[in-house]
Amino acid sequence: MTPVMSRAVILCAMARLSFVSCTSLEELASLSTALETDDQCAAGDDDCALNALQMRGNAMAQAGKEGDAANQTEAEANMEAYWSENSCFAAPKSYGLAFKAQGSSFFDDFTFMTVDETHGAHRYLTKEEAFKTGVVETSEEHGTILRVGDVERSTAPNAPFKRQSVMLHSNHAWKPSEGMLVVMKYNHVPYGAGVWPAFWLMNSDILWPQGGEFDILEYANDEVSKVTFHTSRNCMLDQHKLGQCMAGKQTGGPGPSNCNTDYFKNLLGCRPRQIQRSGEWFAKNPGVMAAAWDADGVTVYHIPNAEIPADLSSDTPKPETWGRWVLAYVPLDRHSCADIAKPQEIVLNIALCGDWAGGAWLRSSAARRTGYTVGCNADISNPAGDCCSRFVTSHKQNSYMKYSAYFSIDYMKVFTPADILSAPPLESATFKRGGVPLQG
């Protein structure tokens, strides 16, 4: 081996040049020649030659990244064209801002519901209670927080303790048949064992689920999110459209295709094949959750903070161009689902245990890791002996619950077609009834 080649071996080892493979004599000879002949450096100045090689390598690596980015951009443009040609996802509309909840006035147009219909270990607070206890807070500087609060003694049958929480229903409602886009920009969402948060839409004019319910972001324990639609009649997903538009996306397995919902008959609503993430994933990947609903169906998006498009930032959203961020697509069969949904109000809540998180407690690895599996049962009908209820109402879990189970929200907005913006907003039936749920 020549002295120059010896220097090349040493320099290559020291620099760990990612663009040069230092494993063959031929490659070493090539590196040696570069060291000897680099016209930027004086003869024998190995340090200078090494720096020059490193600069070349960085330039090559950057060129490679730019090439990859160009290929990615081209691929995304091709997919956008494909989705447009096949009328996938949200239909093109000229949207304008119809509703905004942000900063110190965030809660002005929400009703605080106090009735629990999911048999949970929480007590939903009134607006006055929620502000007084710090379960909700908001400011221009820090945004809006909704969290679970302290454990308190309960008067509920066989439930010695409950933990404070909140459920919000918007005072306004919007017609999906006309087109609506609901957006929530968040910094954190609740997650953890026993935690069941939800960001969803529902109609409260008629008995559930006759007017329709759409779950945008909902999960429990460490299960993945499930985008679902519920109604009271046989309404089918358009499976051809679904397969065509979601081709190439890494989705989980399909759920039911019939949106009819009757839990006593094991009818669970429709859940299309979709991209699914855990609550912890969403909490660690802040951004925008959005749902665009029109006559053909609903599209759900998750847009990372760093990628929020200019059209949304300027309140002129074009969800038909957001195909790369689609999590779920719910194309509804035009025949069986005609006029399927009545005006929808926004719901945001943090439930604890109950029908989902409590019922699935023993199937959850996160729940089992708490140790609350011995000397108790997964039995929401007996809160005193229910494993999940015992866990979330334990004073030992105060820190865990308060620092994991909270929403941090920058804003919530609703956009509707520009040509109906001048129409007076609809009042939700929940608001008109003063927060009292409709009973059958």
pLDDT score of 64 more than 70: no
pLDDT score of 377 more than 80: yes
Fold classification of 92-432 is Jelly Rolls (2.60.120)
**How does residue 221 score in pLDDT terms, banded at 50, 70 and 90?**
very high
DSSP string for 212-226: -EEEEEE--TTPBP-
* Interacting residues of 294 by C-beta distance below 8 A, sequence separation 6+: 90, 91, 93, 176, 177, 179, 180
- The pLDDT assigned to 362 comes to 95
pLDDT score of 31 more than 60: no
Tokens standing for residue 81: 């064209």
Contact between residue 44 and residue 36 where contact means Cβ atoms under 8 Å apart: no
- The pLDDT assigned to 8 comes to 44
pTM of the model: 0.84
Q: Where are the domains of the chain?
A: 3-74, 92-432
- The pLDDT assigned to 63 comes to 63
The C-alpha atoms of residue 19 and residue 11 are separated, in whole angstroms, by: 13
Contact between residue 416 and residue 319 where contact means Cβ atoms under 8 Å apart: no
Q: Which residue has the higher pLDDT, 378 or 30?
A: 378
CA neighbor of 17 nearest in space, from 44, 64, 65, 52: 52
The C-alpha atoms of residue 125 and residue 158 are separated, in whole angstroms, by: 20
CA neighbor of 281 nearest in space, from 298, 255, 304, 253: 304
